[in-house]
Amino acid sequence: GGSMLKKVGTEARLEVEKFLDSKVFLELFVKVIPDWRSKKNYLKSFGYDN
> What are the respective helix, strand and coil percentages of the chain, to the nearest 5?
55, 0, 45
Buried/exposed code over 6-37 (b: 16+ C-beta within 10 A; e: otherwise): eeeeeeebeeeeeeeeeeeeeeeeeeeeeeee
- For the chain, give every domain's residue range: 3-45
* Residue 42 to residue 49: CA distance in whole angstroms: 9
Overall pTM surpassing 0.95 (yes/no): no
Instruction: Give pLDDT tens digits for 3-30.
Output: 988 999 999 999 999 999 999 999 998 8
Which pLDDT does position 13 carry in this prediction?
Answer: 97
